[in-house]
Amino acid sequence: MRYERFKEFYEGVEVRHYAGAGTEAGLVFTIQSRFGIGPQVMSKTDRTMGKGPLKITRLHIENTLYRIIKLSLIFLAVFSAGFAGHKANYDLTWVELGALFAALRLALALRLPSSELKPLSYQRIDIPAFLKKEIIFILLVSAVLFLLDIYADRSFVAKFLAVNFILQGALYSLWVVYNKFFIRPQNLRRASASERTTIIVGAGKRGMNAADIILKHPDLNTRIIGFVDFHKAGLWRYRDIPLIGGGDEIEQIILKDHVDYVIMATEPEDHVRSQGIFRRIEATGTRLIILPCIYNQAISRCYTSSLNGTPVLLYQSSPACRGRLFAKEVMDRVGGLVGMIISAPVMALAALAIRLESKGPIFFKQIRSGINGRPFEMYKLRTMVADADRLKNELKHLNEMSGPVFKIKEDPRVTRIGRILRKLSLDELPQFYNVFRGDMSLVGPRPPLPSEVENYQPWQRRKLSVKPGLTCIWQVNGRNNVDFDDWMRQDLEYIDNWSLAKDAELIIKTIPAVLKAKGAC
């Protein structure tokens, strides 16, 4: 069989991947031969038992030093809290309390084995995980002191937890900076004893993409043994990763090479044939990874989710980071409340002017399309005559905007006070209530009319995938001076490149744009 011939030829050859600066994927290959050429050869047994020329790596040294410093900071926090507080008779000395808290920290450092293939560089800068551990440590210290009935002054415990959190946060910030800017992925490779082996089923475009993902990150600590494919044969290889057999040889390959993972990356046309190989791999108990690229998405991103407990793949083009979306939601609600309070005197004066100039309501309510097209009532200060909607049909021939949007620069329905309010965008102030209520966001595409949405092209409907907002790129770049298609593209640009920093930037840029009445009508 092809696999046996390959094994016979390469018996005793070890291919190890090290990152380097000279290649596109950042990899250099060192081949150790059975003929004694090159460095000392390690047998499979040696690798499994952790034997080899290098037992202590830079990774081990860095992690050990980092943990020692973390524990030292606990003792420093204990002494700092003790000196800052009044003297009291505690059940334990400061040294004993420090040792207790350090033991709790060590207990938190214990990690269960993970089946997730995640680069070590990402694991080292996992900020949510750091915050989670610090919160658990605070709760654990409080629980242990209470359950073991250890007397310690409350002010001392509070000061210790606060000082420790600040010190640990400062240390972690330095750790993140170091790992982001001063270390290369090749320095994060563990010793060969913990190296995981994998084979890739499928040598087509998807299989090669899977190999690229692994080779791009040496700190995944994963070695690709080879490809298994239904179609290719002979001495085919990709980026020095060989073809080692066909689908009928999968069990033998798994047993001989002690495979940890099998990556299923077959092409869509091989889906039916791959069912049989999937069952055979499953029967061996080997872990299976299925690439989610069933469809070749161009805009959306693929995420794991669940449907009533059943794992599913979720494709969405709108932002999906829950932490940042929660921060945006908080910023919107707080900003909406603050906006209502600050704008209240201005709205009171504007309401008085509207009432004195013309008959009709002060506020104008209109149904607009929100997230995913859901209708909601949007509020504005009335800037037109009371029967403006009735007159709209008579003025359609004067429309100056392309697309389904209706805009007239010198709209005869606008009142004198309304022109001033529109020029300064003061008519939009009541929408702070929409933001506070959750219908809108401070920053986001402007909410369209349902009649406009009906005439949208399919690509334009994507602007409805996020909450509408008070301001966006369109408002900053000239509002009504921008063509409709460009307006839509700017909204989609915002969605594709959204970040909290981008929101803050647009809010700041909106202020001078409003004061200059840029593009207002």
**Numbers of helices and strands, H then E, in the chain:** 18, 14
Q: Are 288 and 154 found together in one domain?
A: no
Whether 441 is covered by a domain: the verdict is: yes
Q: Are 111 and 196 found together in one domain?
A: no
Whether 196 is covered by a domain: the verdict is: yes
Whether 303 is covered by a domain: the verdict is: no
Contacts for 432 with CB less than 8 Å, ≥ 6 apart: 335, 336, 339, 340, 343, 470
Q: Are 507 and 379 found together in one domain?
A: yes
Q: Name the domain boundary from 262, 296, 330.
A: 296
The per-residue pLDDT for range 241-281, each reduced to its tens digit, is 999 988 888 888 888 888 989 999 988 888 888 888 899 89
Q: Which whole number is the average pLDDT over 314-324?
A: 85
pLDDT at 422 over 70: yes
Q: Are 221 and 287 found together in one domain?
A: yes
What is the share, in percent, of the chain residues with pLDDT greater than 70?
79
Q: Name the domain boundary from 186, 205, 238.
A: 186
Distance CA 164, CA 70 (A): 9
Angle of helix 154-181 relative to helix 127-147, nearest 10 degrees, comes to 160
Q: Are 333 and 394 found together in one domain?
A: yes
Q: Is 304 helix (H, G, I), strand (E, B) or coil?
A: strand
Distance CA 500, CA 253 (A): 49
Distance CA 287, CA 295 (A): 23
What is the residue-wise DSSP string for 478-494?
Answer: TGGGS-HHHHHHHHHHH
Sign of CA dihedral 436, 441, 446, 447: negative
pLDDT of 46: 39
* pLDDT top residue among 219 and 179: 179
pLDDT at 32 over 70: no
Q: Name the domain boundary from 261, 296, 331.
A: 296
Q: Are 77 and 111 found together in one domain?
A: yes
pLDDT of 37: 31
pLDDT at 492 over 90: yes
Max avg pLDDT among 25-34, 82-91, 447-456, 472-481: 447-456
- State the total domains in the chain: 3
Q: Are 85 and 143 in contact (CB under 8 A)?
A: no
pLDDT of 439: 95
In this prediction the pTM is 0.64
Contacts for 417 with CB less than 8 Å, ≥ 6 apart: 350, 353, 354, 357, 358, 383
Mean of the per-residue pLDDT values of the chain: 79
| HSE, side-chain direction, 13 A CA sphere, residue 121 | 18
Query: Of 365, 340, 364, whose CA–CA distance to 354 is shortest?
Result: 364
Max avg pLDDT among 68-82, 99-113, 303-317, 418-432: 418-432
- With 0-12 / 13-18 / 19 or more C-beta atoms within 10 angstroms meaning exposed / middle / buried, residue 512 is exposed
What is the residue-wise DSSP string for 192-255?
Answer: GGG-EEEEEE--SHHHHHHHHHHHH-GGG-EEEEEEE-SS--SS-EETTEEEEE-GGGHHHHHH
Angle of helix 154-181 relative to helix 58-84, nearest 10 degrees, comes to 150
Q: Are 398 and 478 found together in one domain?
A: yes
The per-residue pLDDT for range 348-380, each reduced to its tens digit, is 999 999 988 888 899 999 999 999 999 999 999
Q: Are 341 and 264 found together in one domain?
A: no
pLDDT of 220: 78
Whether 139 is covered by a domain: the verdict is: yes
Q: Are 417 and 340 found together in one domain?
A: yes
Whether 431 is covered by a domain: the verdict is: yes
The per-residue pLDDT for range 282-294, each reduced to its tens digit, is 888 889 988 876 6
Whether 144 is covered by a domain: the verdict is: yes
Expressed as residue numbers, the domain containing 134 is 58-186
Which DSSP letter does residue 387 get? T
What is the residue-wise DSSP string for 40-89?
Answer: PP--HHHHHHT-SS--S-HHHHHHHHHHHHHHHHHHHHHHHHHHHS----
Whether 329 is covered by a domain: the verdict is: yes
Give the CATH number, domain containing residue 263: 3.40.50.720
Question: 13 falls in which pLDDT band (50, 70, 90)?
Answer: very low
pLDDT of 471: 92
* pLDDT top residue among 146 and 328: 328
pLDDT of 351: 92
Q: Are 36 and 68 found together in one domain?
A: no
Q: Are 467 and 333 found together in one domain?
A: yes
Whether 12 is covered by a domain: the verdict is: yes
Q: Which whole number is the average pLDDT over 220-243?
A: 88
Q: Are 278 and 386 found together in one domain?
A: no
Distance CA 44, CA 41 (A): 10
